C-alpha cells in the first residue's frame, strides 16, 4: 500500500534524541529548555514571525492561542466546519461558542463573504484553516477582522511551507497554530507551535503553557501543562532543516500528478496561483457531477489496487451529534457537497515518480 502520508525519519533524528537522552535535560519546568528554545528561534525565522511558542500538540496550540485573547463564556468564534474536529474542540475548551461558516467550493477554505454573514457583537475571533496546505484568503479576512475589531487565529496545522503573496502563511494573523503530528510535512511525533508578532499575546501564551507561571512555583493565572519536551524539539530541529527538501519533493509529485490527471475531464484538480502557494500536505481532488456513493466506490477500488486514497472530513463538524445538539442546526451547502465528492491521493516525499504514474493511470482507468 502506498500510504497517504508517511513520517520520514533517519539517523539524524535518532542521533538528536540519543544526545538528549545521554546529556539531558529531558524537559524544563517553564518549557524553555535549550532544544525547545533553539527550535522556537528557528521555526520563528522560518515562519517570518517575531515569536514562537512550542507546545505539546497542535490542539494545545489552538487552545492556547484562543485562550490568550481573553475569550469569555459566550464569546463567538467563526470557523469552517470542513476541517478536523480539533479546530472546534479548542474553541469550546477555551469557553467560546463555535459558529460555522460555509466554504469556497474551489479552495475548500472558509469563504470571507460567509464570515461577514456570521459576524455579531459577540464575535471575538475568526479562525480560518489553511486546509490541505492551501492558504486561506487572509487579506479579505483581515479586512473583516480590522473593521470589526476581532482577532484572527489561523490554523496552519497542514501548511508548513505554504506561501501567501510571497510570505509565509500566518503573517497576517494575530497568532498562527502549527502541528507536528506524524502526518504533517514535518514531525516531532506529537507537538505544535504558535507563531505571532504580538509580544503581549506571546507573553500570555508562554505563561499559560506552564501552569500560569512566569517563575517556578509562582502561578499568576490559571494555566495548562502544554510544554514541548526536549526530545520533541531535538527531532523538530532536524526535521525543520530537512523541510525544504520535503516540500520540493511534494511539489514535484503534485505537479506530475496534475499533469497526468488533467487528461481526464471528470476531475477538479488542486491549482496553485502566483499568490497562493500550497505546502501540498495533501493532494485533494473533486469528482465532477458525483455523489458520495460513487466517490466511496472509487476510493475503495484505489485502495484495493494498493493506493492509500483517503477521504478526509467525511463528516463535517456541524453534522456531528455533539455539535448539532449543543450548537444548533446549520445548513452549509458547499461544505456538505464537498464532503461527499472529494478525496486525497499520496504525494509525500517517499512516493516515487513511477508510483505517481501508477496512481494516475489507475485512477483514470477506474473513472
Residue-wise pLDDT for 192-219, tens only, equals 999 999 999 999 999 999 999 988 888 9
Residue-wise pLDDT for 236-255, tens only, equals 999 999 999 999 999 999 99
Q: Averaged over 91-118, what is the pLDDT?
A: 97
List the grid coordinates of 112: 470571507
The pLDDT assigned to 29 comes to 85
Q: How many CB atoms lie within 10 A of CB 281?
A: 27
The pLDDT assigned to 20 comes to 98
Q: Where in the chain is the domain with CATH 3.40.640.10?
A: 11-238
Beta bridge partners of 189: 181
Residue-wise pLDDT for 271-303, tens only, equals 999 999 999 999 999 999 889 999 999 999 999
Domain 11-238, CATH 3.40.640.10 — does that match? yes
The CATH number of the structural domain formed by 243-366 is 3.90.1150.10
- The separation between CA 52 and the C-alpha centre of its own chain, rounded to angstroms, equals 16
Phi, psi (rounded to 5 degrees) for 312: -100, 140
Beta bridge partners of 273: 276
Q: Where in the chain is the domain with CATH 3.90.1150.10?
A: 243-366
Phi, psi (rounded to 5 degrees) for 251: -65, -45
Amino acid at each position: 500500500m502506498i500510504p497517504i502520508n508517511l513520517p520520514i525519519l533517519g539517523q539524524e533524528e535518532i542521533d538528536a534524541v540519543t544526545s538528549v537522552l545521554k546529556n539531558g535535560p529531558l524537559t524544563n519546568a517553564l518549557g524553555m529548555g535549550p532544544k525547545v528554545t533553539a527550535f522556537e528561534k528557528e521555526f520563528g525565522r522560518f515562519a517570518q514571525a517575531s515569536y514562537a511558542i512550542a507546545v505539546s500538540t497542535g490542539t494545545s496550540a489552538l487552545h492556547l492561542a484562543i485562550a490568550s485573547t481573553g475569550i469569555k463564556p459566550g464569546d463567538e468564534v467563526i470557523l469552517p466546519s470542513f476541517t478536523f474536529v480539533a479546530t472546534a474542540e479548542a474553541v469550546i475548551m477555551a469557553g467560546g461558542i463555535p459558529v460555522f461558516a460555509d466554504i469556497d467550493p474551489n479552495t475548500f477554505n472558509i469563504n470571507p463573504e460567509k464570515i461577514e454573514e456570521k459576524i455579531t457583537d459577540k464575535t471575538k475571533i475568526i479562525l480560518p484553516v489553511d486546509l490541505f496546505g492551501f492558504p486561506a484568503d487572509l487579506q479579505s479576512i483581515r479586512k473583516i477582522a480590522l473593521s470589526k475589531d476581532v482577532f484572527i487565529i489561523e490554523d496552519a496545522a497542514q501548511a508548513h511551507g505554504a506561501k501567501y503573496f510571497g510570505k509565509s502563511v500566518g503573517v497576517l494573523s494575530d497568532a498562527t497554530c502549527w502541528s507536528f503530528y506524524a502526518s504533517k510535512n514535518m514531525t516531532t511525533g506529537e507537538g505544535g507551535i504558535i507563531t505571532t508578532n504580538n509580544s503581549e499575546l506571546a507573553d500570555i501564551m508562554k505563561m499559560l503553557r506552564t501552569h500560569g507561571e512566569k517563575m517556578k512555583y509562582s502561578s499568576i493565572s490559571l494555566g495548562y501543562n502544554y510544554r514541548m519536551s526536549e526530545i520533541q524539539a531535538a527531532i523538530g530541529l532536524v526535521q525543520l532543516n530537512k523541510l525544504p527538501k520535503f516540500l520540493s519533493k511534494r511539489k514535484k509529485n503534485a505537479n506530475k500528478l496534475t499533469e497526468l490527471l488533467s487528461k481526464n475531464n471528470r476531475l477538479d484538480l488542486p491549482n496553485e496561483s502566483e499568490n497562493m502557494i500550497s505546502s501540498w500536505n495533501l493532494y485533494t481532488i473533486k469528482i465532477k457531477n458525483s455523489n458520495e456513493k460513487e466517490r466511496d466506490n472509487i476510493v475503495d477500488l484505489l485502495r484495493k489496487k494498493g493506493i492509500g486514497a483517503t477521504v478526509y472530513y467525511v463528516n463535517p463538524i456541524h453534522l456531528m451529534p455533539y455539535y448539532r445538539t449543543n450548537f444548533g442546526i446549520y445548513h452549509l451547502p458547499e461544505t456538505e457537497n464537498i464532503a461527499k465528492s472529494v478525496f486525497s491521493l499520496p504525494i509525500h516525499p517517499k512516493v516515487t515518480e513511477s508510483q505517481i504514474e501508477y496512481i494516475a493511470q489507475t485512477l483514470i482507468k477506474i473513472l
